[in-house]
Amino acid sequence: MIKLQDVRKHYRAAAKGELALRGVDLEIEEGEMVAIVGTSGSGKTTLLNIIGGLDRDFTGRVSVGDADLQTLSDAQLAQLRNQKIGFIFQHFSLLDHLTAVENVALPASFLKGASPVGDPRQRARETLTMLGLGDKLDARPNRLSGGQKQRVAIARALLFKPQLLLCDEPTGSLDSVTGEQIIKTFQDLNEEGYTVIIITHEDRVSDAAKRVIRIEDGRITDDGRARP
């Protein structure tokens, strides 16, 4: 589903020759749950942003599903990001003045054509309820706990039933009990068939993954893939 070949990344602001990714080769199959670990600055977020089509300033080849990311137009890439990939971040990125349902349905307002999932607000209500927030549909983020906010963010990521969930330290702002529940949520989603990639510093998150990829200094140094 995801294939990277010799991916290299140099940030414009970085010194000449200083690469954030130094030749990454990686394949991830549909239905996998993968953790990406490594010290701060090793290149984890850079890698996730490239897989997610947020950063196309790199060399090498990246394909996600049928799409070769370099050959997509900006509009096609935006559509891939919006509809095929769900992003989840450490700090939730919710809008304070919108309710849970409005936050979850928001990506639908960026659609050009008809919604691929029917009424976005209805889908938002169903997804929030599925994630245990049926009594918080009209709550604004300032009335929600950290774990509840993260579940709103997960519901938003699931709006268009994406193929892939990309998570950058999704439990980084949560206490251990709440973090545990969020990990369980990702495991359940993976059981349902979602492909999940999670950047983490926490052992209990990587323990929950079926495969752990370690990055050091812009290179993959370990890939604990369970061979069939």
Ligand X SMILES: Nc1ncnc2c1ncn2[C@@H]1O[C@H](COP(=O)(O)OP(=O)(O)OP(=O)(O)O)[C@@H](O)[C@H]1O
Q: Which parts of this chain interact with ligand X (CB under 6 A)?
A: 11, 13-14, 20, 38, 40-46
| CA gap 120, 48 in Å, rounded | 27
CB of 37 to Mg ion, least distance (A): 11
Query: In the Cβ-directed half-sphere of 87, how many Cα atoms lie within 13 Å?
Result: 19
Answer with the entry of Mg ion, ligand X, none that 53 interacts with (C-beta below 5 to 8 A by kind): none
CB of 35 to ligand X, least distance (A): 13
* Sites of contact with Mg ion (CB under 5 A): 45
Tokens of 202: 């926490």
CB of 172 to Mg ion, least distance (A): 9
| CA gap 157, 148 in Å, rounded | 14
| CA gap 161, 179 in Å, rounded | 23
Q: Tally Cβ neighbours within 10 Å of residue 172.
A: 16
| CA gap 165, 66 in Å, rounded | 17
Answer with the entry of Mg ion, ligand X, none that 42 interacts with (C-beta below 5 to 8 A by kind): ligand X
CB of 58 to Mg ion, least distance (A): 16
CB of 5 to ligand X, least distance (A): 19
Answer with the entry of Mg ion, ligand X, none that 14 interacts with (C-beta below 5 to 8 A by kind): ligand X
Answer with the entry of ligand X, Mg ion, none that 147 interacts with (C-beta below 5 to 8 A by kind): none
Q: What's the DSSP call for residue 135?
A: T
Nearer to ligand X, 40 or 176 (CB): 40
Answer with the entry of Mg ion, ligand X, none that 110 interacts with (C-beta below 5 to 8 A by kind): none
| CA gap 141, 122 in Å, rounded | 19
Answer with the entry of Mg ion, ligand X, none that 190 interacts with (C-beta below 5 to 8 A by kind): none
Contact yes or no for 88/167 (Cβ under 8 A): yes
Nearer to ligand X, 43 or 179 (CB): 43
Q: In degrees rounded to 5, what are phi and psi of residue 81? A: -60, -45
Nearer to ligand X, 2 or 24 (CB): 24
Nearer to ligand X, 21 or 152 (CB): 21
CB of 116 to ligand X, least distance (A): 31
Query: In the Cβ-directed half-sphere of 129, how many Cα atoms lie within 13 Å?
Result: 7
> Looking up tokens 């414009």, which residue turns up?
12
